């Protein structure tokens, strides 16, 4: 199929191959046949070929190098996705010989007009750095350039490259700090995680600590000034107020909204930022967001903030094992004198769990509570003793081990417990538990003088069949009883030492020889014998019951090192706060445009100078050609300022007349550059920066039996097919049970071309997920009807686009616009109505429109050209002309514009 002359067969072949790769199958043998199609003119085929090459370029380096010229040509392709894919393949060929080519490609891509290509160049930086670290300095130059990029698509990727290549170059962040803080809320989720982590480190080097003891936390300078003379101030200690740096506050303020993110990693990143940077009294803002995550994803603990949310950490039967362990840890840390009775009652339930590892962990938690809170030590001990009668060996064994540790703290008060454990000894079979009981009896044998010898007698009978750990403790018990009660146990001890002498385990044989020489007087034992009692019966320090999560504070919260409790590769230490904050002026960015405070005098002077200069130029005098360099620069600068002052930005225009903004945004292009008279530059309003994206209801939760769906048009090129309109759908589960296998079902008509989203295997209660689709509307506003299905139900839904969603912008010169306008024989008559006149005159007065306005675009599906021109005549009449290859499209545009202007 790949060798066929038919593009359709090649496309089908590549779809199958990519499908095999997605399933983990090896398709490397097909590399020669696939790489031949890299120069195909079919965009869809070329995209799939690049997907394949990214996967196998590193494995098939020789063959990939043969096509390197093709990749270089693709870097100039008009399609942004092809340019990006070519760079991705190029950076995947791990051959040092092409490093210069990769470097050149990255530099060119970093200056590309498409933010998607610039984002890909940031990803390529990391690959090139890992291949050749000697390129670091050149890569830093590219990173510095990309850090100035204002696109939210690029921000996360370039910060990731910064963290990989030069994390110590904090100076690169200074000028971009405020911009990154302000862009943060619009960056994609994983970019937010990276940026927050980087800004956390940055803040710890640039701002002073808000945790200083003995200072009054006060961000208001005026308050400190006016209170300085008050009598109340005189009575206070002379504490210096803490004034938070405005940039420090900017970071905290701009990250706070991200606590509502649906991405757990983002919420955790904000939580760790607040934990490490915020004043202590502000850290509690993260608690509710973290508690909200308990019902869904993994989390990391924070101490001292969650006491009001104790019940939120109760273990559920549906929780995974690691979640149960973490919740148990949190409950143990939250335990205090006030709530310990509630927590212990909850622990009693956990001990009965079918998950034996969890039950054992609960017993350890009870032991830690008993150690930390002396008021409940006896209660915990009695409860653990009751567990010794449990039928489950694991529960009994863990109880014995914990009791042993607890008794070491107060052995004199608990001889009865030791006697009780001795009575249960015959019924306990777990080696660790038996060994623990033997150790306890031996250690405190003088407090149970009647029971200890009898236990040794029983162990002598079963010594040869016991586990090694039990044999070792039996030898220890015999030695201690020989020293304290030789009369009753001398013969038993000799018998056990003889058995141990010939044991198969060399550790037991060595221990037996050592004990014999230590306790039994002989000529060979020498002077060590008299110290036997001090050696074997020396007082031992009580063990500390510690959590497996201890000592994690030394790692930054939320990092891999913090989770693993070991320093992972690439971990960067979070430095201490500086004693004195560095100069904050390094973050000041030079403002190009003059501020509003500058008087109109400057602009009038500049305009007079500009007009006089232009007069000189037009008269063609010799003086204009002999002007000095400085004067020319001054004139250019003045002209640049004039243009910026006289021409409002698109955002300014939209903010002046919101009603016009909302409607025109749904249907039309809008010019952003009318400075140069011979070039018309047009931009389709594709981002929500100028107003909220309108969301439509696709399926109500009542109709969908708990499943609800909303959709909107992101106004971006469709990634799946150029002829499709991109649609984003937000699916939510408002029921009390999980929804399974959510997918797209039948279509109406069946020929409707839809790129469906992948099946969602499970959607938990209260959870939401955003998926992307592509729909070919065939240049029509007729609705696309299809079924939205779950495992058990099917729901009929429809998506209907506004006419503006069927158009994409097109850039052309004014000359080409007029030329194309003349070619199109289909033209609607000029439209002149009172509504149009009123609206356009108003826009002209407020400088919303610069006349004449020309809009150019093409339909998404067929690529048909659409030209729209607006003119304001001397008689205060507005003329609208629409030229298009499709009369239906012209009618729809005219209808929408009439409606928009009449509403305005």
Of the candidates 103, 124, 120, 112, the residue with the CA atom closest to the CA atom of residue 154: 120
Quote the CA–CA distance of 24 and 18 in Å, as a whole number. Answer: 10
pTM for this model (two decimals): 0.46
List Cβ neighbours of 756 (8 Å cut-off, separation of 6 or more).
Answer: 743, 744, 773
Does residue 380 contact residue 366 with C-beta atoms inside 8 Å? Answer: yes
Mark the ranges of the chain whose per-residue pLDDT is less than 50: 214, 219-237, 297-304, 592-691, 827-833, 845-849
Residue 356 CA: distances (Å) to CA of 341, 397, 544 = 23, 11, 24
Quote the CA–CA distance of 630 and 620 in Å, as a whole number. Answer: 20
Quick count: other Cβ atoms within 10 Å of Cβ 23? 8
Does residue 86 contact residue 77 with C-beta atoms inside 8 Å? Answer: yes
Quote the CA–CA distance of 813 and 152 in Å, as a whole number. Answer: 29
Report percent pLDDT > 70 for the chain. 74
Burial 612-636 (b: 16+ CB within 10 A, else e): ebeebeeeeeeebeeeeeeeeeebe
Phi, psi (deg, nearest 5) at residue 449: -65, -25
Would you state the pLDDT for residue 365?
85
Residue 581 CA: distances (Å) to CA of 114, 279, 632 = 39, 16, 43
Does residue 809 contact residue 857 with C-beta atoms inside 8 Å? Answer: yes
Alpha-carbon torsion (38, 43, 45, 50), positive or negative: positive
Quote the CA–CA distance of 289 and 818 in Å, as a whole number. Answer: 57
Burial of 512 (0-12, 13-18, 19+ CB in 10 A): buried
Quote the CA–CA distance of 873 and 857 in Å, as a whole number. Answer: 25
Does residue 404 contact residue 414 with C-beta atoms inside 8 Å? Answer: no
Phi, psi (deg, nearest 5) at residue 498: -70, -40
Would you state the pLDDT for residue 424?
76
Half-sphere exposure of 896 (CA within 13 A, CB side): 21
Residue 814 CA: distances (Å) to CA of 201, 673, 686, 808, 824 = 50, 12, 23, 18, 16
Burial of 251 (0-12, 13-18, 19+ CB in 10 A): buried
Encoding tokens for residue 720?
Answer: 């799946």
List Cβ neighbours of 433 (8 Å cut-off, separation of 6 or more).
Answer: 393, 396, 397, 398, 399, 400, 401
- Beta-bridge mates of residue 726: 774
Would you state the pLDDT for residue 649?
42
Would you state the pLDDT for residue 193?
92
The per-residue pLDDT for range 543-597, each reduced to its tens digit, is 555 555 555 666 777 677 766 667 777 777 777 777 787 887 888 776 544 434 3
Measured in Å, how far apart are the chain's first and last C-alpha atoms?
57
Quote the CA–CA distance of 110 and 142 in Å, as a whole number. Answer: 7
Using only C-alpha atoms, the chain has a radius of gyration, in whole angstroms, of 38
Does residue 301 contact residue 322 with C-beta atoms inside 8 Å? Answer: no
**Does residue 852 have a cis peptide bond before it, meaning omega lies within 30 degrees of 0?**
yes
Would you state the pLDDT for residue 525?
57
Measured in whole angstroms, the distance separating CA 276 from the mean position of its chain's CA atoms is 18
Helix (H, G, I), strand (E, B) or coil at 47: helix
Strands 216-217 and 241-242: parallel
């Amino acid at each position: 199929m790949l060798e066929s002359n038919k593009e359709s067969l090649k496309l089908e072949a590549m779809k199958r191959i990519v499908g095999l790769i997605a399933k983990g199958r090896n398709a490397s043998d097909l590399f020669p046949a696939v790489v031949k199609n890299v120069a195909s003119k079919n965009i869809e085929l070329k995209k799939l070929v690049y997907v394949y090459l990214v996967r196998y370029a590193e494995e098939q380096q020789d063959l990939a190098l043969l096509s390197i010229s093709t990749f270089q040509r693709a870097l100039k392709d008009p399609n942004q996705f092809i340019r990006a894919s070519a760079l991705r393949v190029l950076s995947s060929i791990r051959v040092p010989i092409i490093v210069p080519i990769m470097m050149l490609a990255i530099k060119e891509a970093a200056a590309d007009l498409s933010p998607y290509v610039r984002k890909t160049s940031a990803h390529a930086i990391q690959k090139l750095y890992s291949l050749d670290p000697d390129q670091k300095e050149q890569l830093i130059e590219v990173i510095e350039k990309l850090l100035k990029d204002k696109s939210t698509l690029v921000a996360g990727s370039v910060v990731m490259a910064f963290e990989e290549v030069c994390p110590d170059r904090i100076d690169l962040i200074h000028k971009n700090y405020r911009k990154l803080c302000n862009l943060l809320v619009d960056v994609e989720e994983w970019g937010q995680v990276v940026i927050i982590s980087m800004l956390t480190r940055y803040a710890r080097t640039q701002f002073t600590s808000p945790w200083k003891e003995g200072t009054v936390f006060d961000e208001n300078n005026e308050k400190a000034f006016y209170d300085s003379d008050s009598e109340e101030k005189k009575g206070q200690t002379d504490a210096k107020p803490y004034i938070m740096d405005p940039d420090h506050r900017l970071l905290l303020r701009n990250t706070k909204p991200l606590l509502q993110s649906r991405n757990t990693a983002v919420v955790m990143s904000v939580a760790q930022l607040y934990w490490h940077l915020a004043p202590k009294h502000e850290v509690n803002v993260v608690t509710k967001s973290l508690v909200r995550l308990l019902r869904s994803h993994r989390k990391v603990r924070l101490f001292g903030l969650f006491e009001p949310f104790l019940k939120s950490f109760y273990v559920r039967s549906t929780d995974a094992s690691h979640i149960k362990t973490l919740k148990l840890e949190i409950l143990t840390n939250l335990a205090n004198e006030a709530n310990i009775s509630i927590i212990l009652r909850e622990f009693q339930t956990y001990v009965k769990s079918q998950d034996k590892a969890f039950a054992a962990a609960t017993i350890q938690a009870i032991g830690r509570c008993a150690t930390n809170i002396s008021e409940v030590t006896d209660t915990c001990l009695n409860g653990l003793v009751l567990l010794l009668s449990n039928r489950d060996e694991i529960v009994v064994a863990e109880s014995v081990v914990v009791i042993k540790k607890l008794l070491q703290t107060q052995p004199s008060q608990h001889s009865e417990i030791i006697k009780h454990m001795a009575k249960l000894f015959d019924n306990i079979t777990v080696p660790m538990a038996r060994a623990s009981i033997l150790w306890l009896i031996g250690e405190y044998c003088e407090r149970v003088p009647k029971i200890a010898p009898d236990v040794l007698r029983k162990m002598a009978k079963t010594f040869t069949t016991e586990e090694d750990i039990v044999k070792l403790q039996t030898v220890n018990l015999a030695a201690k009883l020989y020293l304290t009660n030789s009369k009753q146990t001398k013969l038993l001890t000799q018998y056990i030492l003889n058995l141990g002498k010939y044991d198969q385990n060399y550790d037991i044989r060595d221990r037996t020889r050592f004990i014999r020489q230590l306790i039994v007087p002989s000529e060979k034992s020498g002077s060590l014998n008299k110290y036997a009692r001090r050696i074997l019966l020396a007082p031992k320090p009580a063990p500390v019951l510690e959590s497996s999560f201890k000592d994690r504070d030394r790692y930054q919260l939320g990092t891999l090192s913090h989770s693993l409790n070991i320093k992972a590769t690439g971990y960067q230490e979070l430095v201490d706060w500086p004693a004195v904050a560095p100069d904050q002026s390094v973050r000041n960015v030079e403002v190009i445009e003059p501020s509003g405070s500058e008087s109109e005098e400057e602009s009038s002077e500049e305009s007079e100078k500009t007009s006089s200069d232009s007069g000189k130029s037009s008269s063609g005098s010799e003086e204009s050609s002999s002007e000095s360099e400085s004067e020319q620069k001054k004139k250019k600068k003045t002209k640049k300022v004039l243009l910026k002052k006289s021409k409002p930005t698109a955002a300014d225009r939209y903010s002046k007349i919101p009603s016009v903004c909302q409607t025109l945004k749904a249907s039309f292009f809008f010019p952003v550059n009318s400075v140069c008279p011979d070039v018309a530059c047009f931009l389709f309003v594709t981002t929500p920066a100028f107003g909220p994206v309108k969301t439509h209801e696709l399926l109500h939760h009542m109709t969908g039996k708990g499943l609800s769906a909303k959709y909107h048009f992101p106004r971006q090129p469709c990634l799946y097919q150029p002829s499709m309109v991109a649609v984003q759908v937000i699916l939510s589960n408002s029921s009390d049970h999980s929804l399974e296998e959510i997918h797209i079902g039948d279509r109406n008509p069946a020929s409707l071309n839809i790129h469906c989203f992948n099946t969602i295997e499970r959607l938990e209660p209260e959870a939401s997920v955003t998926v992307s689709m592509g729909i070919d509307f065939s240049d029509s506003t007729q609705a696309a009807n299809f079924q939205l299905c779950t495992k058990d139900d099917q729901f009929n839904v429809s998506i209907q686009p506004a006419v503006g969603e069927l158009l994409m912008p097109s850039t052309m010169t004014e000359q080409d616009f007029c030329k194309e306008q003349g070619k199109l024989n289909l033209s609607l008559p000029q439209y002149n109505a009172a509504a149009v006149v009123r609206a356009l005159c108003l826009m002209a007065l407020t400088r919303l429109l610069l006349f004449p306005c020309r809009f150019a675009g093409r339909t998404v599906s067929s690529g048909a050209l659409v030209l729209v021109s607006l003119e304001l005549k001397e008689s205060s009449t507005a003329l609208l002309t629409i030229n298009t290859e499709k009369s239906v499209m012209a009618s729809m545009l005219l209808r929408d514009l009439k409606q928009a202007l009449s509403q305005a």
